Chains A and B, each alone.
Chain A
C-alpha cells in the first residue's frame, strides 16, 4: 500500500515564525501536491510538483514556498506564518498518469497564534 507520511499531525506556531511541513511518499510517485482544507472552502491547491526540483503554483501560493530536492520528499514552507494560515494541510502524491487517483497523507493541523 502506498504510504504518504506527513511529519506532524498537530503543530502550533507563533506569528512570524518560519514553518516547515514535510511530506514523504514511498511509492516512487512523480507527482506531489500540497492542499489546505478549510471548512466550507474544500481543498485548495497551494503548490504541486511533477518532478524533482520542479514546482508549479496552485490556486493560493501566496505566503508559501515549496522544495522538492528528492523525488520522495515534498516540503511546504511558510516563510513568515500568519494567523490566516491556520488550517489543515494535506499532502498527496500520484503516479505520472493523469487518471490515477491521489494518495493522501493524514494531514497536519497547523495553528498559528
Chain B
C-alpha cells in the first residue's frame, strides 16, 4: 500500500528562520503531489501541487517544494518564516492511477515565535 512519511512531528522556529519540511512517499509509479496547510481553527487549504513539468513548484505565501523523483521526496521550503505561518502542514500523494485516492502524511506542526 502507498504511504507518506513526514519526518518531523513538531518544528519550532523563530521568525525569519528558514524552513524545510521533509516528505517521502512509497509508490513506484507516477504520482501527483500536494502540500496542504491547516491554520488554527480553519479548513485545510492547498499550498501547492506538482503533477508534471518543472520539479520546483511555487505556491502561495512564499512556499515552494521540490520533487526529487530518485528520492521519492517532495520537501516543502520557505526562506523566511513569519509568525502567521504557524499551522499544521500535510504532505499528500495521489497515485496517477484510476481508483486511487489522496493519501496524507501524519502532518507536521510548525510553531513560529515572534
Interface residues of A (CB under 8 A from B): 31, 33, 35, 40-45, 48, 50, 56, 58-59, 90, 92, 98-99, 101-102, 104-107
Inter-chain CA distance A31–B46, complex, in Å, is 17
Given A104-B44, A106-B43: A42 and B106 interface contact (C-beta under 8 Å):
yes
Given A98-B32, A101-B46, A104-B43: A33 and B101 interface contact (C-beta under 8 Å):
yes
Shortest C-beta distance, A30 to chain B (Å), equals: 12
Given A98-B96, A99-B51, A104-B43: A42 and B102 interface contact (C-beta under 8 Å):
no
Q: Point out which of A44, A48, A50, A101 has the most chain B C-beta atoms below 10 A from its C-beta.
A: A101
Q: Point out which of B9, B43, B45 has the most chain A C-beta atoms below 10 A from its C-beta.
A: B43
* Cβ contacts under 8 Å, A56 to chain B: 99, 101
* Cβ contacts under 8 Å, A50 to chain B: 99
Query: What 4 pairs across the A-B complex have the smallest Cβ distances?
Result: A42-B106, A99-B51, A43-B104, A101-B46
* Cβ contacts under 8 Å, A41 to chain B: 106
Interface residues of B (CB under 8 A from A): 1, 6, 9, 32, 34, 36, 43-46, 49, 51, 90, 92, 94, 96, 99, 101-107
* Cβ contacts under 8 Å, A58 to chain B: 101
Given A90-B44, A99-B49, A104-B44: A42 and B105 interface contact (C-beta under 8 Å):
yes
Given A40-B9, A101-B34, A105-B43: A45 and B101 interface contact (C-beta under 8 Å):
yes
Q: Point out which of A35, A98, A106 has the most chain B C-beta atoms below 10 A from its C-beta.
A: A98
